[in-house]
Amino acid sequence: MTKSSGPVGVVAGTGVAEEFGGGRPKKVGTRFGRVDVRLFDEKGYVVVSRHGASKSPPHSVNYRANVEALSQLGVKKVMATNAVGSMNEEFEVGMLGLLGQFLDFTKGRQATFFDREAVHTDMTEPYSRSLNKELARAARGLGIGLKEGLVYVCAEGPRYETAAEVRMFRLLGGDVVGMTGVPEVVLARERQMEYASVVVATNWAAGIQEEVSHEEVVRAMKASGKRTKELIEATIKRMK
């Protein structure tokens, strides 16, 4: 079992952040901006709402500030949640999954902490095997089905993808598509954190279903929020 010496970081996305009420509020100052976090000291984790109080759209999220705040709090292991559109017929709407690889199609984001020095971080395996194993074990104990080893495609947003883009992503080996997973995972790895993401299939990607709407995504995430939180808390409990 993977033990965690410091607090576990939870980056909660749309529909899940609301489930993590309570805790001890704290403002963390970073050189990239101030971040509001909630400390759950007795449970051994700290929560960052990815989009913040201002509900920043995916392309404008201050990913560097979020990750830096967790780093300053001594976090070495991060569990994130992401809403995704499924391109894999075996990963149906409403299912939960774990990521194994990503394809980055973002364009204009602050994607590194190393703007002025040549630091090349290995990304052969961006998602932590050990954290994924712990999440999978906890899921089995809770009777929650998980699809493992998914390939995540990160699109720039905020628009949804075209049907042609989704066909391309599928040809390249993508299983799911979203807008918030990169550069978050990259930044976490640059800060030498282990990182895992629990993804929720909120819809079929463009062209597989007739159209995609934000309202549909939010409804699906809210429906899965409690289950996702339960999985993350059970995993953290196993690690303490």
Pairing of strands 146-155, 96-105: parallel
Domain range spanning residue 235? 8-239
Establish if 3 belongs to a structural domain: no
For residue 3, what pLDDT is reported?
Answer: 63
Q: Are 141 and 114 in contact (CB under 8 A)?
A: no
pLDDT in tens, 180-225: 999 999 999 999 999 999 999 999 999 999 999 999 998 999 899 9
Residue 70: partners with Cβ closer than 8 Å, 6 or more residues away:
9, 11, 37, 46, 48, 78, 188, 191, 193
Establish if 1 belongs to a structural domain: no
Peptide bond between residue 58 and the one before it cis (omega within 30 degrees of 0): no
Pair of tokens at residue 62 = 């201050």
Establish if 18 belongs to a structural domain: yes
For residue 14, what pLDDT is reported?
Answer: 85
Establish if 174 belongs to a structural domain: yes
Establish if 86 belongs to a structural domain: yes
Establish if 2 belongs to a structural domain: no
State how many domains the chain has: 1
Averaged pLDDT, groups of 10, the chain, 240 residues long = 77 92 95 97 96 94 98 98 97 97 96 95 98 98 97 97 98 98 98 98 96 91 94 94
Establish if 131 belongs to a structural domain: yes
Q: What is the 3-state secondary structure of 12-75?
A: ECCCCHHHCCCCEEEEEEECCEEEEEEEECCCCEEEEECCCCCCCCHHHCCHHHHHHHHHHCCC
**C-alpha count within 13 angstroms, C-beta hemisphere, residue 120:** 1
Establish if 230 belongs to a structural domain: yes
Report the predicted TM-score, pTM, of the whole model to 2 decimal places: 0.95
- CATH number where 94 lies: 3.40.50.1580
Q: Are 5 and 240 in contact (CB under 8 A)?
A: no
- Burial degree of 156 (CB within 10 A; 0-12, 13-18, 19+): middle
Pair of tokens at residue 128 = 């932590």
Q: Which residues of 32-58 are buried (b: 16+ CB within 10 A; e: fewer)?
A: beebebbebeeeebbbbbbbbeeeeeb
Question: Closest by alpha carbon to 240, among 48, 1, 58?
Answer: 1
